């Protein structure tokens, strides 16, 4: 059971949610619409939609926004979005994965490439950095859910593969295809989770200095502010002394 990096991308993203709330709701609604359009509009019959709705509720997305997004998927006016992944390197060779959902591939590719270039990085080919990450399901619980041993036992009982715990909470990992089932079983044991989703989990992390961290954070901010970008994942870690200076 390894300690989870409190400076991982999920923490950075959560820190920006207050500033970009309406943009966040828009991205969540887009995922809900696409999930409902690809499967069944009933969350109970569509695992991807169920997870998308759960993610929206976790950040207090209004119910009418969720309902409109599902309804939109059943109408003829729903945009035709393509899901695409970009991979590249930030300054000092830090690996970054960008997941986007767009109705204009040329626009999104041009924008993402320009962000990397402006921040001293470069966009690579698909597969150029993803080999350094594992695609897994991630279920997040607050520290109040229990101590590390209690959560570990619950996770194993639910069929999870690994748990990382620290003072900030618990991160439970499982196989991609098992996310919905493991999430439901954990909910019966520990209560409702903070978040359940598919993630790219870095196999190793690289600590960065202040200058590198500033450049990388600028790149991530630019990417996350783009309407087409859904998720940004990286493999760097910011030591506490550097974080205090940011």
Residues 138-171: tens digit of each pLDDT:
999 999 999 999 999 999 999 999 999 998 899 9
Confidence of residue 116 (pLDDT cuts 50, 70, 90): very high
Residue finishing a domain among 73, 97, 117 = 73
Question: Both 110 and 162 in a single domain?
Answer: no
Q: Where are the beta strands (DSSP E) in the chain?
A: 82-89, 95-102, 122-124, 133-142, 162-166, 169-174, 195-202, 206-207, 229-234, 236-237
- Specify if 49 maps to a domain: yes
3-state secondary structure of 207: strand
Question: Both 137 and 218 in a single domain?
Answer: no
**pLDDT cut 70: percent of the chain above it:** 90
Question: Both 28 and 66 in a single domain?
Answer: yes
- Specify if 2 maps to a domain: no
Question: Both 144 and 124 in a single domain?
Answer: no
Asked if residue 21 has pLDDT above 80, the reply is no
Specify the pLDDT at position 153. 96
Question: Both 61 and 156 in a single domain?
Answer: no
Question: Both 35 and 90 in a single domain?
Answer: no
Counting Cβ atoms within 10 Å, is residue 218 exposed (0-12), middle (13-18) or buried (19+)?
middle
Question: Both 109 and 212 in a single domain?
Answer: yes
Structural domain total, the chain = 3
Specify the pLDDT at position 5. 55
Question: Both 25 and 115 in a single domain?
Answer: no
Question: Both 139 and 191 in a single domain?
Answer: yes
Give dist(CA 98, CA 127) in Å, integer.
12
- Specify if 64 maps to a domain: yes
Question: Both 37 and 52 in a single domain?
Answer: yes
Question: Both 66 and 20 in a single domain?
Answer: yes
Decide if 138 contacts 197 (C-beta within 8 A).
Answer: yes
pLDDT in tens, 177-231: 999 899 999 999 999 898 888 999 999 999 999 999 999 999 999 999 999 999 9
- Specify if 1 maps to a domain: no
- Specify if 23 maps to a domain: yes
Question: Both 176 and 61 in a single domain?
Answer: no
78-82, 217-221, 242-246: least confidently modelled range: 78-82
**Does pTM top 0.85 for this prediction?**
no
- Specify if 4 maps to a domain: no
52 is in which domain, residue-wise?
9-73
Element (H, E) at 22: helix 21-38
Residue finishing a domain among 29, 52, 73 = 73
Distances (CA, A) of 192 to 4, 41, 52, 72, 141: 20, 22, 15, 27, 8
- Specify if 154 maps to a domain: yes
Asked if residue 10 has pLDDT above 60, the reply is no
- Specify if 239 maps to a domain: yes
Asked if residue 9 has pLDDT above 90, the reply is no
Specify the pLDDT at position 3. 45
Say which residue, 161 or 82, is predicted with more confidence. Answer: 161
Specify the pLDDT at position 15. 53
Most confident of 14-18, 35-39, 118-122: 118-122
Specify the pLDDT at position 44. 85
């Amino acid at each position: 059971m390894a300690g989870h990096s409190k400076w991982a991308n999920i923490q950075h993203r959560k820190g920006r949610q207050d500033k970009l709330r309406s943009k966040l709701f828009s991205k969540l609604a887009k995922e809900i619409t696409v999930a409902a359009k690809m499967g069944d509009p009933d969350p109970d019959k569509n695992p991807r939609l169920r997870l998308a709705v759960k993610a929206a509720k976790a950040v207090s997305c209004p119910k009418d926004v969720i309902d409109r997004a599902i309804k939109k998927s059943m109408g003829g006016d729903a945009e035709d979005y393509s899901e695409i992944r970009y991979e590249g390197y930030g300054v000092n060779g830090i690996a970054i994965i960008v997941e986007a959902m767009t109705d204009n591939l040329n626009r999104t590719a041009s924008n993402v490439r320009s962000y990397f270039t402006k921040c001293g990085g470069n966009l690579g080919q698909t597969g150029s950095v993803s080999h350094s990450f594992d695609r897994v399901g991630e279920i997040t619980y607050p520290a109040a859910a229990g101590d590390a041993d209690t959560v570990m036992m619950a996770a194993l009982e639910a069929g999870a593969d690994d748990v990382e715990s620290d003072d900030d909470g618990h991160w439970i990992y499982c196989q991609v295809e098992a996310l919905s089932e493991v999430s439901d079983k954990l909910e019966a044991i520990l209560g409702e989770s903070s978040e359940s989703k598919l993630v790219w989990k870095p196999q190793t992390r690289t600590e960065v200095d202040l200058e590198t961290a500033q450049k990388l954070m600028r790149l991530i901010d630019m990417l996350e502010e783009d309407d087409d970008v859904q998720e940004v994942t990286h493999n760097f870690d910011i030591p506490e002394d550097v974080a205090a200076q940011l």
